[in-house]
Amino acid sequence: MSNSALITGVTGQDGAYLAHFLLQKGYRVHGLIARRASDTTWRLRELGIEKEVNLINGDMTDLSSLIRAMGQSGAQEVYNLGAQSFVATSWEQPILTAQVTGVSVANMLEAVRAVNSSARFYQASTSEMFGLIQADSQDEKTPFYPRSPYGVAKLYGHWLTVNYRESFGMHASSGILFNHESPLRGIEFVTRKVTDAAARIKQGKQKELRLGNIDARRDWGYAGDYVEAMWLMLQQETPDDYVIATGRTTTVRDMCEIAFRHVGLDYRDHVVVDPRFFRPAEVDVLLGNPAKAREKLGWQPQTALPDLIAMMVDADMRRVKQEGAC
């Protein structure tokens, strides 16, 4: 019988790509979904898998629903991707972020421990936990110094995963993922904000793009590559934590240049730096060292940043055209 996996955050970028990846490997895929009035399953539709994923009603802040989801799914692998994941929102809603991004990890770990303690557990950690960097490049031994309520909440979930692994012998691993993007990225994130603006400006639907610190540097990869690393972690005999990154860093400015050049525009004619979009506590540079993942998991990124940005711009060009046709 095929393996059964439960994905929280299945309707997000990573959840959709992971569901697609696992389905291709013959898994029975179950996804936790909090029912909302708005359409949250569009990413699953874009990947053509909406009808192949068994959606289970539940909420990350409701332990009872997580216990039911574990029982209904019979999951042997649990991928905990659900979170309030937009950094800017975490300053506006710090308590919500603490509950949904931090305390919810305790809920999910408890649900796994109560229903099937032998199930393998993946926690979606983040490079934002490094924040005010303590080393030129960050690996699994680099000290953490989060600079946002989101990073602090993620750090709680990360250390709790380590604690449950050491306290209860659970096969619990964390992936410390650096920035990973795709055409399925939410429009509120800077990469989609840039690629969507390039498409709209090219098609005469927008005149300028306002951004904050365009000299911030990030280690950007393709989400479709990164979900394989999540799966590989749960196939290891021993659970552990891994940095997943490209090992290369690029400024937001350079990313804008790539995106606008792809549609024959000069970003300098359209991008406006707006102080309103600067973070209260800025993270200037994040650069991951994925050596451990390469050596122990055999994982490495496959998609170069220019190819990723081109993929995203092309997808947004199609979306903007479709809007005009409606």
Q: Is residue 128 annotated as part of the catalytic site, yes or no?
A: yes
Nearest to 157 by CA among 98, 91, 203: 98
How buried is residue 248: exposed, middle or buried, by Cβ count under 10 Å (0-12/13-18/19+)? middle
Between CA 111 and CA 243, with CA 48 as vertex, the angle to 5 degrees is 50
Q: Is residue 150 annotated as part of the catalytic site, yes or no?
A: yes
> In which order are the strands placed within the sheet that holds 4-8?
54-57, 28-33, 4-8, 77-80, 120-126, 172-177, 241-244
Rounded Cα–Cα distance for residues 42 and 46 (Å): 6
- Out of 27, 122, 150, 267, pick the active-site residue: 150
Q: Where are the alpha helices (DSSP H) in the chain?
A: 13-24, 42-46, 63-73, 87-92, 94-97, 104-115, 149-168, 190-202, 223-234, 252-262, 291-292, 305-325
Q: Quote the DSSP letter at residue 263.
A: T
Instruction: List, in order, residues 6 or more apart from 181 with CB less than 8 Å away.
Output: 189, 191, 192, 220, 221, 222, 223, 308, 312
Nearest to 43 by CA among 21, 23, 19, 60: 19
Structure token digits, residue 309? 């940005």
- Out of 8, 97, 101, 126, pick the active-site residue: 126
- Out of 77, 128, 228, 257, pick the active-site residue: 128
Q: Is residue 161 annotated as part of the catalytic site, yes or no?
A: no
Backbone torsions φ then ψ of 134, nearest 5 degrees: -105, 5
What residues are labeled active site?
126, 128, 150
